[in-house]
Amino acid sequence: MSATTITPAPRIQGGTILRGLLLAGLAILAMLPVLNRLPPESVLYVSDFVVAVSGKWICYGILALAIDLAWGYAGILSLGHGAFFALGGYAMGMHLMRLIGPRGVYGHPVLPDFMVFLGYTELPWPWWGFSSFPYAMLMALLVPGALAGIVGWLAFRSRITGVYLSIITQAMTYALMLAFFRNDMGFGGNNGFTDFKELLGVPLNTAGARAALFYAALVALGVSLLLCRLVTQSKLGRVLVAVRDAESRVRFLGYNTTSVKLSVFVLSAMLAGLAGALYVPLIGIINPGEFSPGNSIEAVIWVAVGGRGTLVGALLGAFSVNALKTWLTSFAPDLWLFVLGGLFVAVTLFLPRGLVGLLRKGEGR
């Protein structure tokens, strides 16, 4: 047979337009903190504000990748990714709170302020170890991962799929939100954590620290993108697509779909946790509002708008919807909800493959 040239075709025939868009976008992002250092008179000057906003979008981009991996590739529509994101954020927030140390208003060497005035006398056990940065980062990944592992194992094992899974994960998010709003949980209740001082020995309220955090987020985005690409281009990625389209058929092929789905769900939750951990020092506050079920759904719609099942689409969606939101909430706050709601409707009805689908049409895939 001479047909030895037959090789598996690349999964993402990422059109040149898309790949160019992705690279250009990343390059522009990488330039922002540099442009921020220019004198304000310069045409290219970028304000602190833009840097801060873009930093957040980067975190949202990682979250979108995580959702896309689970939903776009494996067909797991989780409405709980906002919760994984928030858990990662809380882990980082706990570390930042521990680092405040005696600089709190009560000057207690160990206890955060809110614990002091709520009458705690010693640090609750969930807080142990969070003074260490590696431990906190580990927790930011492990806690969402473990939660996803438990919920996923219970659900996938019982063959709970589709909307049932969505409803269950939404209930999980809702229960977590209620739990974190409780002051008795020892996580600061409604106020959450704020007034952070430093990270890794660097004061947070300096331009340099902000730029460093920005680059950390950008690097994390790059790493996440590569990781997701690794997964989706591997045979595992093809198994995921197969599970998404015909799960029971995959089972009859001898794949244990429970473990396949579970592994990607856990990985996805950990990525969301990573995004949350980067988000918190960038914006300086974490509170239970991040658990609200609406946030998770909103993040899903970023992916739908961009185009699920493609990594570029997830990023494109996260950035474009958030840019639209930033713009609209400033200039027409009343209209924003109509536009966002309209997006949900329009994308599901007319653009099932999102913006990427639209861009690809020209390329005749």
Cβ atoms < 10 Å from Cβ of 66:
30
When binding is defined by CB under 8 A, the residue of 43, 122, 134, 331 that contacts another protein is: 331
Q: How far apart are CA 256 and CA 246, in angstroms?
A: 13
Q: Point out which span in 62-70, 114-122, 137-145, 268-276 binds another protein (CB under 8 A).
A: 114-122
Q: Point out which span in 19-27, 108-116, 269-277, 310-318 binds another protein (CB under 8 A).
A: 108-116
When binding is defined by CB under 8 A, the residue of 38, 105, 226, 358 that contacts another protein is: 105
Q: Point out which span in 28-36, 124-132, 138-146, 290-298 binds another protein (CB under 8 A).
A: 290-298
Q: How far is the CB of 302 from another protein (least distance, A)?
A: 11
Residue 320 binding another protein, by CB under 8 A: no
Q: Using CB under 8 A, which residues numbered 62 to 81 contact another protein? A: 77
Residue 140 binding another protein, by CB under 8 A: no
Q: Point out which span in 105-113, 128-136, 140-148, 311-319 binds another protein (CB under 8 A).
A: 105-113
Residue 13 binding another protein, by CB under 8 A: no
Residue 37 binding another protein, by CB under 8 A: no
Length of the chain, in residues? 365
Residue 35 binding another protein, by CB under 8 A: no
Q: How far is the CB of 11 from another protein (least distance, A)?
A: 9
How far lies 16's CA from each of 9, 20, 21, 26, 353, in Å? Answer: 16, 6, 8, 15, 18
Phi-psi region of 195 (alpha: psi -120 to 50; beta: other; left: phi over 0): left
Q: How far is the CB of 151 from another protein (least distance, A)?
A: 8
Q: Using CB under 8 A, which residues numbered 171 to 200 contact another protein? A: 171-172, 174-175, 177-179, 181-183, 189-192, 194-196
Residue 214 binding another protein, by CB under 8 A: no
If the CB atoms of residues 20 and 342 are measured against another protein, the closer one turns out to be 342
When binding is defined by CB under 8 A, the residue of 37, 103, 158, 219 that contacts another protein is: 158
Matching residue, tokens 């939100």 = 177
Please work out the total of residues on this chain that contact another protein, with binding judged by CB under 8 A: 122
Residue 132 binding another protein, by CB under 8 A: no
Q: Point out which span in 126-134, 136-144, 154-162, 312-320 binds another protein (CB under 8 A).
A: 154-162
Q: How far apart are CA 295 and CA 289, in angstroms?
A: 9
Q: Which two tokens stand for residue 341?
A: 């709601």
Asked if 217 contacts 88 with a C-beta cutoff of 8 angstroms, the reply is no
Q: How far apart are CA 302 and CA 232, in angstroms?
A: 19
* Closest by Cα among 243, 260, 276, 226 to 92: 276
If the CB atoms of residues 135 and 344 are measured against another protein, the closer one turns out to be 344
Residue 348 binding another protein, by CB under 8 A: yes
Matching residue, tokens 């208003």 = 105
When binding is defined by CB under 8 A, the residue of 40, 109, 201, 362 that contacts another protein is: 40
* Closest by Cα among 279, 330, 212 to 63: 279
Q: How far is the CB of 40 from another protein (least distance, A)?
A: 5
Q: Which two tokens stand for residue 346?
A: 């329009």
Q: How far apart are CA 35 and CA 49, in angstroms?
A: 12
Q: Using CB under 8 A, which residues numbered 225 to 284 contact another protein? A: 230-231, 234-236, 238-239, 241-242, 244-246, 248-257, 259-260, 263-264, 283-284
Q: How far apart are CA 34 and CA 41, in angstroms?
A: 15
Q: Which two tokens stand for residue 291?
A: 């658990």
Identify how many contiguous H helices and E strands the chain contains and give both numbers: 14, 4
Residue 208 binding another protein, by CB under 8 A: no
Counting Cβ atoms within 10 Å, is residue 332 exposed (0-12), middle (13-18) or buried (19+)?
exposed
